[in-house]
A and B are shown apart, each in its own frame.
Chain A
Amino acid sequence: MVKDLVLDRNTGKNEEKKQVKWYKKITQFEEFGILIALIVICAIIAIANPIFLSFGNIMNVLMQISLVSIMAVGAAFVIITGGIDLSVGSSLTLGGVLAATFYSLGFNPWIALFLAVLMGSFVGAMNGLLIVKLNINPFITTMAMASVIKGLAYLITGGMPLSFNTEINFLGGGTFFSIPVPVIIMLIIILFGHVLLTKTIFGKYVFAVGGNEKSAKLSGVDVHLTKIKVYSLLGALGALAGVITACNLRIADTAAGNGREMDVIAAVVIGGASLSGGKGSIKGVLIGAAIMGVIRNGFVLLRLSSYLQLISIGAVIVIAVAIDQLRKKK
């Protein structure tokens, strides 16, 4: 009966659904702006130095962005819930140190890797717990946690690098059909993150929490648990990146993760996520990390000063966010 009543009402809503042209579809694609930016930057560098497009160099760039991308996938989840994590660099350090320590204690290196990642996710969960239970601002919480983790790493190592010479070193240094293994791991993590964010209930909850916490709670979303999970995911990915680093360098160093959190956050933000939450994508993360990687690589290829490189990365962050704002206005 509801239907009958409703249907005799003509509000003109069902106007003909216009066939959206393909080029319109592309420009409506959220990451369109930064994708164009990436292509333009690549084109400029390629014209200036064709080596840029060689297989070896492309792999080199991908290898360089692999660690940041892996962590940025986790950071995207955190940022979409409206949070931030400044401790991921320290998680990286801790991950490597723990893996090396467990290995030196006689554990199988795979188990050592597993334990390190587990500890990473535990540390992340601690971040989340402090944030939701004590209601401390995530910026402060994770900044403090960064310091605690780093201290722990120093305590464990005494400040000396630990050697990590094992049969899993191929995870950092090996290749598979000429593709570096870390790049393959990165692609797997990106795919995993993309599916998790867009095709699961958890992903929908992540967006809901960042979009409006009160509405999310009233819709039955466990806001606290969702937050703890995202920080835990990031902690695990941070530790994984740490183990890969140790595999690559054959040592676990207490300085390995210093300052990495800034690259990670930059990749997410260039990728179109909003620090106020509710918005972001894993596709964007990949493009964001790629833009930074390509610029770094370009400066090396073109023999430009690395100081200029710092400046231009800063500029890219501002431009990316500005483009996003302009698009929103339109």
Chain B
Amino acid sequence: MKRREIIRLREITKSFPGVKALDKVDLSVFEGEVHVLLGENGAGKSTMMNIICGNYQPDGGDIYWNGELTQFQTPRIAQEAGVGIVHQENSLLPHLDIKSNIFLGHYPKTVLFLNQRSIEKQSRELLRKLGLENMDANDYVERLSLADKQMVEIAKAISISPKLLLLDEPTAALTKTEIDILFNIIRKLKSEGVGIIYISHRLEEVFQIADRVTILRDGVRVLTKPVEEMNIDSVILNMVGRNLDKQKKELDSTQDQSYDKEVLLQVEKLSAKGRFHDINLKLHRGEVLGIAGLVGAGRSELLESIFGYTGYDDGEIFIKGKKERIKHPKDAIRNKMALIPEERKVKGLFLNASVKDNINLVTIGRNKKRLLLDDKKQRDTANQYVERLQIKTPSIDKRIQDLSGGNQQKAILARWLLSNPEILLLDEPTHGIDVGAKGEIYQIIRDLKKAGIGIILVSSEMPELILMSDRIAVMNNGELSGKLRKEEITEENIMMLAAGVSL
């Protein structure tokens, strides 16, 4: 049986001011195929997705849909043809409920009024089909965790019964449980003949679901191959254009599990109603304390409370042994804390502002020259960090909105590294970051650790957590279900505690 090609893109080219995002890229997807698209941050993956779903128009090249030359002038046209997409950044409307979000743009046709009842029924069915029975279709999206929002996003893309499904980093915000659900969905869609383009920076996933792999580098297609002909090393080599071995070895050799006795941050009996309860933690100088847990376990909430973003009802916070009442992030910053939040678009970025302003905001006071701010200092600082973190942008005056997802994340990292924190709270710091840059961020964490900074690391990526942490605290349902010393850290132990089973 010869499988049919759903889509074929020929020599797609797309430029933005100052960058050639795509340069004559070819890509095709067969029925029932999972085609994984890989590449570093800014390689052009999301741009390609935006072209397929009609959001951007290519400068050159052809799109063949079911063998016929087509143009997707608008997202609407692409959707009607059967293209479903989960964008890299959340695109749900927070003030609407789940069912309205799912059906927005393609409500079932009725004569006059929306048939709320039927929409609710269909949403519920869809959620059940996706293994999300515990979600209520009437819940408002703003109340959902990032992971649940992501699952709704997936449900939304599937609700149009797509022939081609585009998934742009769908798992970046998910933990293992949801990823398993997603992979089951993907397998099912595959068996129904749906073609899928899948983007991820979690390379181990590639070998679980890919049929073919295409690698982009700086907007150019490097290769397309069946997954059987690839292994993780060749994938990385082709993505990055060099071997990461040296870096990896260096990282392993600097693995130093010791930390100081001095307690930088102590949290005692911290509680916040409905979010977490009775949390006790100690963070030492030069320690990386990992926090594990399933989605909704209260990890991000805990960090945000410690940082003064959302208050707490009960308990105490000590910094270097001194009791501090942290009511606002500015109090936390005064105490040399930094928080890199999970949802960068909602809680980190100023989308309309320049890269320069995004980087400089927290430490803006340092650029004073007498009474006024000195623009040159701000530019120098921004340029220096763009260089240091290899943030890919044509200039620091570019709006940060126009940067690729991973590069936006690096800019936020720059903002907080600049503040020279002693206590660094990291909430999914490598969210959307490519392998090479991930290694660099790990190295930075190691260097900060060596410099005596205490780091709390929340991560859903188990390998990352295990690699980086000196100790791991596990949360379950808003409570601390256990703490693991380095020698006790195993995936099984973490999973057990996360599920609420005591060891």
Residue of A11, A17, A219 near B390 (CB, 8 A) is A11
Residue of B218, B346, B350, B352 near A11 (CB, 8 A) is B218
Contact A215 B349, CB 8 Å, known A5-B247, A11-B392, A222-B330: yes
What chain B residues lie within 8 Å of A279 (beta carbons)? 352
Question: A218 contacts B329, CB within 8 Å?
Answer: yes
Q: Is A208 an interface residue (CB 8 A)?
A: yes
Q: A11-B390, A15-B394, A215-B350 are in contact. List 17 more A-B contacts (CB 8 A).
A: A2-B388, A5-B250, A9-B240, A9-B242, A9-B436, A201-B364, A207-B353, A207-B357, A208-B361, A212-B351, A215-B346, A216-B361, A219-B362, A219-B415, A220-B330, A222-B330, A278-B353
Question: B330 contacts A221, CB within 8 Å?
Answer: yes
Identify 6 residue pairs between A and B in the complex whose beta-carbon atoms are under 8 Å apart, listed by A's number: A2-B443, A10-B241, A200-B372, A208-B350, A214-B346, A222-B328
Question: A6 contacts B350, CB within 8 Å?
Answer: no
Please report B residues at the A interface, Cβ cutoff 8 Å.
40, 42, 218, 240-242, 247, 250, 307, 309, 328-330, 332-333, 339, 341, 346-353, 357, 360-362, 364-365, 368, 371-373, 386-395, 415, 436, 439-440, 443-444, 447
Q: Distance in Å from the Cβ of A265 to the closest Cβ of chain B?
A: 20
**Residue from B240, B346, B347, B394 with most neighbouring chain A CB atoms (10 Å):** B347
Question: A11 contacts B347, CB within 8 Å?
Answer: no
CA distance A5 to B436 in the complex (A): 10
CA distance A1 to B250 in the complex (A): 10
Q: Is A199 an interface residue (CB 8 A)?
A: yes
Question: A211 contacts B353, CB within 8 Å?
Answer: yes
Question: B388 contacts A218, CB within 8 Å?
Answer: no
Q: Is A217 an interface residue (CB 8 A)?
A: yes
Please report A residues at the B interface, Cβ cutoff 8 Å.
1-3, 5-6, 9-13, 15, 17, 195, 199-201, 204, 207-208, 211-212, 214-222, 278-279
Question: B390 contacts A217, CB within 8 Å?
Answer: no
What chain A residues lie within 8 Å of B241 (beta carbons)? 10
Q: Distance in Å from the Cβ of B304 to the closest Cβ of chain A?
A: 8
Contact A220 B390, CB 8 Å, known A1-B447, A207-B350: no
CA distance A201 to B371 in the complex (A): 10
Q: Distance in Å from the Cβ of B29 to the closest Cβ of chain A?
A: 28
CA distance A227 to B342 in the complex (A): 26
Identity of the chain B residue whose Cβ is nearest the Cβ of A198 in the assembled complex:
B373
The 4 closest A-B pairs by CB, nearest first: A211-B350, A220-B330, A220-B333, A199-B372
CA distance A220 to B362 in the complex (A): 7
CA distance A170 to B279 in the complex (A): 67
**Residue from A6, A214, A219 with most neighbouring chain B CB atoms (10 Å):** A219
Identity of the chain B residue whose Cβ is nearest the Cβ of A279 in the assembled complex:
B352
Residue of B353, B362, B368, B447 near A2 (CB, 8 A) is B447
CA distance A209 to B349 in the complex (A): 12
Question: B349 contacts A212, CB within 8 Å?
Answer: yes
What chain A residues lie within 8 Å of B328 (beta carbons)? 217, 220, 222
CA distance A204 to B373 in the complex (A): 10
Q: Distance in Å from the Cβ of B359 to the closest Cβ of chain A?
A: 11
What chain B residues lie within 8 Å of A215 (beta carbons)? 346-350
CA distance A199 to B377 in the complex (A): 12
What chain A residues lie within 8 Å of B373 (beta carbons)? 199-201, 204
Question: A13 contacts B329, CB within 8 Å?
Answer: no
Question: A5 contacts B443, CB within 8 Å?
Answer: yes
What chain B residues lie within 8 Å of A199 (beta carbons)? 372-373
Question: A278 contacts B350, CB within 8 Å?
Answer: yes
Question: B372 contacts A219, CB within 8 Å?
Answer: no
